[in-house]
Amino acid sequence: MTCSHFGSYRLLTIVIVIGADILVACMDRHARSRKRISAWHAEVKAAIWKKPSDIKVRFRSVDFLSGNRVIFDIGGNEYRIIVVAQYAAGVLDVRFAGDHKEYDRIDAARI
């Protein structure tokens, strides 16, 4: 988290993660994912991302789809997390978290 000054006010910049229940459900299904997904969650909550390239700097294997959808490869590409990024609001809306078998059964552009 960082603070920036705006006149005499200080603005706190953080990423808000909506849909943490989807992450928890994935960790419940895949116990081995718990440490990696928890680490991802902690890192993104403290991130400052104003555009897709900001994400790419930290997560080189990330993929971008239309509609501001972002696909993260987690744990050496063992798990996937799909979010919709609302850059101006500082919000990530988690739409999917699962292993590759589960990922192969969904439409990443529509979920």
Domain limits, the chain: 15-104
Give the separation between CA 107 and CA 31, rounded to whole angstroms. 24
As a whole number, mean pLDDT of residues 57-68 equals 95
| pLDDT score recorded for residue 2 | 40
pLDDT value at position 72?
Answer: 97
Residue 14: predicted pLDDT: 67
Which residues share a beta bridge with 16? 91
pLDDT higher than 70, residue 63: yes
pLDDT higher than 50, residue 5: no
CATH, domain 15-104, list 3.10.580.10, 3.40.50.280, 3.30.2310.20, 1.10.357.10: 3.30.2310.20
Tell me what pLDDT residue 15 has: 84
